[in-house]
Structure 1
Amino acid sequence: MYEFTIIVPVYNEEDNLERVEQELLAYTKIATKKTAILFVNDGSVDKSEQLIKEICKRNEAFDYISFKENRGLSAAIKAGFDHVSTQLLGYIDSDLQTSPEDFNVLLEHIGEYDLVTGVRADRKDSFVKNMSSRIANGIRRAFTHDGMDDTGCPLKVIKTDYAKRIPMFKGLHRFLPAMILLQNGKILQVPVRHFPRIAGKAKFGLWNRLLGPLMDCFAYLWMKKKYINYEVKQKE
């Protein structure tokens, strides 16, 4: 009965989860598509798993899967892709530096496009974080030619059949628009709001925000060369 599923990766976010529940529950009441929530607990070692279970128990539209151990953001997103059954899916970080309400902005465009991603306007991050992200995005654009200014924005809507065809690898969450282009899909970026983190700790430092993505670019080029894409002309 749902049309849209929001994937929420979680790793040690016990201080944020009550607020996550409140904001996502409020969004389900104003969403332009009937919306379900899927938490992906990425092997948290704090109280996140317990809190997620309690949230899902008291909210019909909320569900979860839980990893045995921490496998990283790309793995959590991939698990979400694998378990979603609605025609549309979205993704948001559990730090809530973006607002679930802005999913309605992205959903306005998803009919014509296969992926719509947010661009964080007026970012509320430190100078070092902003600058390293800007450099990383510039390097990635030079490799992928996807035209996207902010692929690290944790607010996206994707047609599920396209998402399920993405061959994920570690770090690929930064390359989702490029992977849709490899399927001859259409992509769009739309400005969304950005907020400072008010609880919990950031999971990415200078290495995995700047140097890590540079290494991932070479993995993307290898995949692009080997990627299989086809259309069936006729079948009986």
Structure 2
Amino acid sequence: MHYSFTIIIPVYNEAENLLRVEEAILDYLKIASAKTSILFVNDGSTDQSFQLIKDICIRNDVFNFISLKKNRGLSAALKAGFDAVESDLIGYVDSDLQTSPKDFNLLLEHIDDYQLITGVRVHRKDSFTKNMSSKIANFIRRAFTKDGMDDTGCPLKIIHTDYAKRIPMFKGLHRFLPAMILLQEGRIKQVPVQHFPRVAGKTKFGLRNRIFGPLTDCFAYLWMKRKYINYHIDKRS
């Protein structure tokens, strides 16, 4: 069966959330505005996540998975998903369900005119420290990338697959997806989406990798921007 839209769900030790993820995705599929499949990317989980993923995929034909041998981080999990997807569009949502899959329909409304649509989390339900560190990190990234995005860390995005596959991923680059689409001369847009508190599991990002890691990654991005190869084929035989 041909799907036009594949939602990637990276998973690292989220066993407490996965049954909720299954329920939320199945609810979304009832109203999805595109023919949609689901791809779990198990990022070397050490809890019961992988077994739960396999069980979910057995129960539901629309769910599939790939599993990384070792934990390699969010950027690696997304890269593995980008490489595996064959549909025209790729979506991404975190398995903590702090954003709603139903909001993919809001993003899909604009995808014909843009190469990447990202959510902007309004009325965020995180702690003061997490909110402030995210604001600082976004300010730093925006100053370096000039991408105009207010919330590049929002885990709800849709990208045209051909653009996603051309992103030269490195560790930490998940924070720069809009900027990497701009390097390909693509168009990007942000759309307000819902945000919810985390009700189970533990966050994988702290103050150190929310601010200091992205700061050093900004210099890597600037190097890549100077060296990035971009071309368009004019004619072929």
> How far did 1:97 drift?
0.0
Is 1:61 aligned with 2:57? no
> How far did 1:109 drift?
0.2
1:171 matched residue in structure 2? 172
User: Residue type matched to 2:33 in 1?
Assistant: T
Separation in structure 2 between the aligned mates of residue 2 and residue 142 of structure 1, nearest angstrom: 37
Instruction: Report 1:7-26 matches (<5 A).
Output: 7-26=8-27
Separation in structure 2 between the aligned mates of residue 223 and residue 190 of structure 1, nearest angstrom: 27
Separation in structure 2 between the aligned mates of residue 28 and residue 84 of structure 1, nearest angstrom: 18
Describe the superposition over 1:162-204 as per-residue Cα deviations: whole angstroms up to 9, x where unpaired: 0000000000000000000000000000000000000000000
Q: TM-score, normalised by structure 1?
A: 0.99
Describe the superposition over 1:46-66 as per-residue Cα deviations: whole angstroms up to 9, x where unpaired: 000000000001101000000
1:27 is paired with a residue whose SS is helix
Separation in structure 1 between the aligned mates of residue 55 and residue 97 of structure 2, nearest angstrom: 19
Separation in structure 1 between the aligned mates of residue 27 and residue 39 of structure 2, nearest angstrom: 15
2:30 is paired with a residue whose SS is helix
> How far did 1:90 drift?
0.3
Separation in structure 1 between the aligned mates of residue 225 and residue 38 of structure 2, nearest angstrom: 32
- Count, aligned residues: 236
1:135 matched residue in structure 2? 136
Instruction: Report 1:67-146 matches (<5 A).
Output: 67-146=68-147
Separation in structure 2 between the aligned mates of residue 107 and residue 79 of structure 1, nearest angstrom: 23
Separation in structure 2 between the aligned mates of residue 65 and residue 45 of structure 1, nearest angstrom: 15
Q: Which runs of 4+ in 1 moved over 3 A?
A: none
> How far did 1:235 drift?
1.2
Separation in structure 2 between the aligned mates of residue 3 and residue 192 of structure 1, nearest angstrom: 22
Q: TM-score, normalised by structure 2?
A: 0.99
2:185 matched residue in structure 1? 184
> How far did 1:234 drift?
1.2
**Identity rate, percent:** 73
**Where does structure 1 lack aligned partners over 5 or more consecutive residues?**
none
Separation in structure 2 between the aligned mates of residue 81 and residue 234 of structure 1, nearest angstrom: 27
Separation in structure 2 between the aligned mates of residue 173 and residue 47 of structure 1, nearest angstrom: 25
2:232 matched residue in structure 1? 231
Describe the superposition over 1:111-144 as per-residue Cα deviations: whole angstroms up to 9, x where unpaired: 0000000000000000000000000000001100
User: Residue type matched to 1:144 in 2?
Assistant: T
